[in-house]
Chains A and B, each alone.
Chain A
Amino acid sequence: MNNFFDLKLVELGRWIEAFFADFPSLKLVVHLLLCTLPLALSFMGAFAFTTWLERKGLARIQNRPGPNRVGIFGLLQPIADGIKMLIKEDIVPERSDKLFHFLAPIMLMIPALIGVGFLPLGDGLHALPLDSAIIFFFAISSLNTIAVFMAGWSSRNKYSLLGGMRAVAQMISYEIPLVLSAVAVIMIAGSLNAQEVVASQQISSWVGSGNILQEFFGRILGWNVFKPWGFAGFIFFFVAALAEANRSPFDLPEADSEIIAGHLTEYSGFKYAIFFMGEYISAFAIAGIGVTLFLGGWNGPVFSGLPWFVLKLFSLFAVMIWIRGTLPRLRVDQLMGYAWKFLFPLAILNIFLAGFYHFIERQWGTAIAMLAGWILGFGALQLAATALSRLNQSPIMRSKRVYQLVE
């Protein structure tokens, strides 16, 4: 496997560490810094780039040019924004709970950065290579609910409070389908270790190997998303991840047309920037775990390693931006109903389907058996989805409306 890029990066790290070989006390510090600092910095850089990407992408969707004043194509816009945020006045409401108002952005930022550490970015590029990395990731990423509620509560603003309430309800509800769709992957991979989950998606078992074409497609079709349960699970995961990351159409905690900016209403200046960055980095983290679980991590045809991971991560984010530019927002009760009455049962069903498909794959493993697995799996999911949406939909919405034109 050609993972030249990752090996070079690891080598570079070793090379730097070698300078400090004679100072055992410093060596550990340097090692830790090498593990964390590039990671944090690169994700902050990615955040800056993504703000530009999002603004530009939304602008093109909306038929306008978007940022184009600072630098070529407005590429330096994030820097200008950063400077603006830094020199802005930091306003804290007089009656707010100042300590928690101050702590909330930090509280959001820290778990987001820790969460990023669990992602296997490439072969050997893994800041926190725990055996239970995935469980840890979900545990850490659910901490940002607390930060959002801290912000909502401490601001002493009713919109903030409403936003905080919404955030808690939403994030806790969507955690369940999120984790349940991951359970299927963990079950099949047989490990909670992120690197092993990635390794389990390296090669498709039934494409075989031999000629170049088989090699090429085998490396793509091995990803979990190209299995029926993986495909369905990826969709559940992605929807839940959107809600978890407060992205449209589930951006209720900061719904601008309803509650102004939700928990962010009373934040200004650099605290707001930190909050913003924290939310983006947790969105990155959750998209990254999606890539790891369903899109084959850093695996890919021709070569594998960090570039594939980055490519997949930004593709997922581009879809998030696309959705943001397209869809209206759900209502609170619809949002909760969607999580509990629709995603939750389907995600549980999906776990059984994963086992079923895995059984077929192990037992027969031929292309026809796989096809049967796909058809049966999707049939079952489609049936369940139709039944659930029938049950949940109110009768008034079932019929298409016809409008009279009278004289």
Chain B
Amino acid sequence: MSPVQTMPPRGYHLSKDELGADILEVAMGPHHPSTHGVFRMDLKLDGETVVDLKPVFGYLHRNHEKIAEDISYPMSMPFTDRLDYLCGMTNNWAYALSAEKLIEIEVPERAEYLRVIVGELTRLVNHCLLIGFFINDLGALGTPLLYALREREKILDLFEVLSGARMMVNYIRFGGVRCDLPEGWLGECQRIVDAFPAFLDEYETLLTENEIIIARAQNVGVVTREEAIDFSLTGPMLRASGVNYDIRKVDRYGIYDRFDFKIPIGGHGDCYDRFMVRMLEMRESVKILKQAIRDLPDGNIMGKAPKIFRPAPGEAYGRIEAPKGELGFYLISDGTPIPYRFKVRPPSFVNLTALRHMCLGHKVADAVIILGSIDIVLGEVDR
């Protein structure tokens, strides 16, 4: 058959469906500047509008949970640093908490305070980085990001002095913490914490009222209160949707019941609220830090932990309010020094499930900032 014969009759127009060319499929990632690691979004675009989205991950899978089932309990501790590699301290803490539930170790008071201090510092580190990258995703060429990184770097220096590493801290132990504060650490920490609100003020004046940020972030990626609960979102994402749920208040794990702090709640559940809730959360963290530094008692930093960690058969689930949401470790013991089952409940993985719902109908540029506002770390998503 000649090509002329297969052509449609004169005056006949192919409809969009027949042409099959109106949908553009773009694989955004795994190497894309703003997927925050090796994450892929398979987008279907109608022009610039997202009509379908499939999150693809697993590029960073390191078999964390299965490896943990082959080694003894304390040996998994350094691996937890690599889960959410931005917040090693809180990962350590969550794992220690669940192990302590399994064997019931008393944690000395000083260690509890130290945990709160490093945990809240970690929250500052994480939120600094998130708001910086969020504004960066909005297209502000690095300037707000670098200012946020500058503050983060100060806290990472503290971590380095304390534990020897900036990010892979491996600091918290079952029953306490690894080492006591070095000379002068607390003063330096006090100085950084006191100076922190000035940075937040600067950031807020410069950015939160910015016309472009408001136009870009408000009413984009909305998750309603009910949807947020249905997606089992946690952390700042859930609170931005207007749910008052913070495990620091709900569980009062550690010594969080001793501190006076409040939970910021958003009303709209959009990207702007997620950004603002984190900004406000940093202020509350600073409040907690000031109280903890003030009240830090003297004493032991390690409780009476057994030489060989051999819990009785049973199970335990320890969870904390990590900067990204509820971070839980579920352990099943069969009476040996090696866990029978080791399961991580990573907040960014669960929060990521809402991505498709939030992105549909928005533009490509919005998909990027929605992903940025979820706050994912692929080390934790893929494990």
Contact = CB atoms under 8 A, between A and B. Distances in A.
A258 B216 contact: no
B363 A332 contact: yes
Interface in B228-273: 244, 249, 262-268, 272-273
A324 interface: yes
Contacts of A333: 48, 363
B34 A257 contact: yes
A165 B33 CA distance: 20
A389 B304 CA distance: 66
B363 A397 contact: no
B87 interface: no
A400 to B, nearest CB: 8
Given A248-B139, A397-B219, A401-B276, A258 B365 contact: yes
B212 A403 contact: no
A405 B139 contact: no
Nearest to B276: A403
A298 to B, nearest CB: 32
Contacts of B147: 62-63
B186 interface: no
B215 A330 contact: yes
B31 to A, nearest CB: 9
Contact of B140 (A260, A326, A396, A397): A326
Contacts, number: 124
B139 A329 contact: yes
Interface in B327-383: 363-366, 368
Contact of A328 (B24, B34, B213, B264): B213
A401 B268 contact: yes
A92 interface: no
B219 A396 contact: yes
Chain A: number of interface residues, binned into ranges: 35 or more
A326 B365 contact: no
A249 interface: yes
A331 B365 contact: yes
A244 interface: no
Contact of B264 (A58, A158, A404): A404
B129 interface: no
A199 interface: no
Nearest to B140: A328
Interface in A327-361: 327-334
Nearest to B135: A328
A341 to B, nearest CB: 13
Contacts of B48: 162, 165-166, 332-333
Contacts of A329: 138-140, 212, 216, 365
Interface residues of B, number: 49
Interface string A231-270: 0000000000000000011011001111110000000000
A77 B213 CA distance: 34
A260 B33 contact: yes
A196 to B, nearest CB: 38
A362 interface: no
Contacts of A165: 47-48
B143 to A, nearest CB: 5
B72 interface: no
B63 to A, nearest CB: 31
Interface in B12-59: 24-26, 32-34, 45, 47-48
Contact of B26 (A64, A158, A394): A158
Given A255-B139, A257-B139, A327-B140, A406 B262 contact: yes
B266 A403 contact: yes
A150 B272 CA distance: 37
Given A260-B33, A397-B215, A401-B272, A58 B368 contact: no
A61 B143 contact: yes
Interface string B139-162: 111110011001000000000000
Given A63-B146, A162-B364, A405 B280 contact: yes
A331 B143 contact: no
B218 interface: yes
A328 B210 contact: yes
Nearest to B366: A331
Contact of B214 (A159, A255, A397): A397
Interface in B204-229: 210, 212-216, 218-219
B213 A257 contact: no
Nearest to B284: A405
Contacts of A161: 24
Contact of B216 (A252, A331, A401): A331
Contacts of A258: 34, 139, 364-365, 368
Contacts of A396: 218-219, 268
Contacts of B135: 328
A62 B137 contact: no
A341 B366 CA distance: 21
B49 to A, nearest CB: 9
A64 B145 CA distance: 12
Interface of B: 24-26, 32-34, 45, 47-48, 135-143, 146-147, 150, 210, 212-216, 218-219, 244, 249, 262-268, 272-273, 276-277, 280, 284, 363-366, 368
Interface of A: 58, 61-64, 158-159, 161-162, 165-166, 248-249, 251-252, 255-260, 324-334, 394, 396-397, 401, 403-407
Given A62-B142, A251-B139, A255-B365, 17 more contacts: A63-B150, A166-B48, A248-B139, A249-B212, A256-B34, A258-B364, A326-B140, A327-B140, A327-B210, A329-B140, A329-B212, A333-B363, A334-B216, A396-B218, A397-B214, A397-B215, A405-B264
- Closest A-B pairs by Cβ, 6 of them: A329-B139, A405-B262, A328-B138, A328-B140, A257-B34, A62-B146
